[in-house]
Chain A
Amino acid sequence: MYITKAKTPDNKKVSLLEFIQKHSAMGTWEFDTKLLAITWSSETKKIHEVPSDYEPNIERALSFYKQGYSLDTITKLFNDCIEKHEEYDVEIQIITPSGEDKWVRAIGMPIIKDNKCIKVQGLFQDIDEKTKISKSLAYKEQQLRRTFETALVGMAIVDLEGNWIDVNRSLCNTFGYTKEEIEQLSFLDVTHPEDLRKDYKSMMSMMSGKIDHYETEKRYISKKGETIWTQLSTSIVRDDNGNPLHFVAQINDLTEIKKTSKKVSQLLATTEDQNKRLLNFAQIVSHNLRSHYGNLDMLLDIVKMDLPETTDNEIFPLICLAVSHLGETVENLNEVAAINIQKDLKTEPLNLLENFNRAYSSISALIIDSKTTISINIEPDIVVKAVPAYLDSILLNFLTNAVKYKKPSEPAKIEINTSTNNNFVVLEIRDYGQGIDLVKYGEKLFGMYKTFHKHEDSRGLGLFITKNQVEAIGGKIEVESEVNEGTTFYIYLKKHE
């Protein structure tokens, strides 16, 4: 009846209503309970994605709703609206003819006449975009929250006064407080007193804008009163105008790492201490033992000259032999001690082939006598880093060993090859001799005074000294061996770049 009073023409009125419907993405609809007829406005049809000449009926209208929650909800609300005269306003999903889910807001209002619902009028709004955005925001929020909560690193949001706004589980575990307890405390309450100043300063620098984050190693005090070592990274969060809002802190528990590194440094101290004692021992060997041996040897000489009649028996030569063995042992011990005491060894570039040939020619008599065949394949341009005296001794030792431990029945056969391995030159010395039972003797192979062969001058010290010398110049030795097949030593020497 307002329409008749309006000055504007009727068709103009309609188009205004359409204008409103279009721009609010909201359509209208009406259901006549007597005629069981439903009418949709053009915007309502548009939301349903049906053409403007579409003729809806109640079954068709309901069929748009998504099976399950949406259909059940709208059916019940629509019935209640007619039967119980209840209004409704609900957000549910329809499925458009193209098969897409769409979020809509459906509003229904009963028109009552004589206590009977004669009509239901309603609004129909497209809220799909808005709903999907807010739903995905909620999902992202939840994801972030889960990440925050389950992160293994302790995380906290701290306000500008240093009060905890939020803390995660890991942080609570580190500090030994419950979330409720810790939220009663400030950041500074749990900080180790000695680190307070530094922390406070950094917070101030961040607030003043001098820095926007900082990382430090910092101590906290746990609920039990224990010191906790952590790696702290803090950054400040600002609003769009650059005003500080709060801090975000990540706290990594380093206590275990600290404990371990303390253990390591204790071990180091012990080792250094033992090394000192070893050095001391080496000096005792070098001096005291030598002087006693010297005296014995000298006295024996005097006896020989002074009292020759007392030497003509079985015992005297044995005493002389024993003393001479003692002298050798002391000499060997000294050699070993000297290698271990040497601190700054002066290595120099040495041509491997030249040095090898020198060692080889110094035992050429032995090679010829023993009818040894030897094939030497060393590239003439290989240069290694070594101490000259050590390299000589190493080469000589391996060569003589290879000759010495030949098979008793046949002359020795030796092959020398080289290869490179990273920073090392690998000198390979292969003999086809007696071989060593590595399963039985492997562990002892490079030990002091271990001999594996019944050979008249196996002293058992050669390999021990050689190994020490190789290691002193940064190399290592590997061995392969088979009894009655032979032995191959791989001597790793530092390559000269």
Chain B
Amino acid sequence: MNKIDVACIIDDDPIFIFGAKRMMELSDFCKSFMVFKNGQEAINNLKPIMISGEDVPDIILLDINMPIMDGWDFLDEFVKIESHKLITIYIVSSSIDPIDVNRAKRYKTISNYIIKPISTDTLKEILQLELAK
């Protein structure tokens, strides 16, 4: 295996989604994507997937500032879902506010905090780490 199966992007910015997807394709990051425009949409769709155990994403790139349900609220809801698969979550935000960075550290489920813009190099690093597991 030299590719992630399913990568999930939760972000309300269509430009970022376009860019992230294209970068992932160009860097041969994953086999398939899952994209949600906010936390609520992500929870609604991820819940049945997680319960069924099919096509569960290996990695989630999560934005913080989103309408309807933001990244923090999503995390609080997400940890309540029982899952047999370990999912790696990266916060990907343009916020460099230390408050956000420190808050992210308090969640055990979060692997890292990535400040936008993301580059193919960042994606390659993530891929390395993920494949090493």
Contacts and interface: CB of A to CB of B under 8 A. Distances in A.
B120 A286 contact: no
B120 A294 contact: no
A283 interface: yes
Contacts of B119: 298, 301
Nearest to B27: A305
Interface stretch (B32-40, B72-80, B90-98): B90-98
B19 interface: yes
B16 A305 contact: no
A283 B97 contact: yes
Interface string B1-27: 000000000000101100110110010
A305 B96 CA distance: 27
B19 A295 contact: yes
A291 B116 contact: yes
A297 interface: yes
Contacts of A305: 26, 120
A298 B97 contact: no
Contacts, number: 52
A299 B26 contact: no
Contacts of A298: 15-16, 19-20, 23, 116-119
Contacts of B97: 283, 286-287
B65 interface: yes
B96 to A, nearest CB: 6
A299 B19 contact: yes
Interface in A262-303: 283, 286-287, 290-291, 293-295, 297-299, 301-302
A297 B117 CA distance: 7
Q: Determine the main DSSP class of B at the interface with A.
A: loop
A290 B96 CA distance: 9
Nearest to B23: A302
B13 A291 contact: yes
Interface in A123-138: none
Given A302-B19, A305-B26, A294 B96 contact: no
A306 interface: yes
A334 interface: yes
Interface string A444-455: 000000000000
Contacts of B16: 291, 294-295, 298
A299 B23 contact: no
Contacts of A295: 13, 15-16, 19, 116-117
Contact of B22 (A287, A290, A297, A302): A302
Contact of B23 (A283, A290, A294, A301): A301
A294 B95 contact: no
B116 to A, nearest CB: 4
Given A286-B96, A287-B65, A287-B95, A306 B19 contact: no
Contact of A334 (B13, B23, B96): B96
17 contacts: A287-B97, A290-B116, A294-B116, A295-B15, A295-B19, A298-B16, A298-B19, A298-B20, A298-B23, A301-B23, A302-B19, A302-B22, A302-B23, A302-B26, A305-B120, A306-B22, A306-B26
Interface of B: 13, 15-16, 19-20, 22-23, 26, 65, 94-97, 116-120
Given A301-B120, A305-B120, 5 more contacts: A294-B16, A295-B15, A295-B116, A301-B23, A306-B22
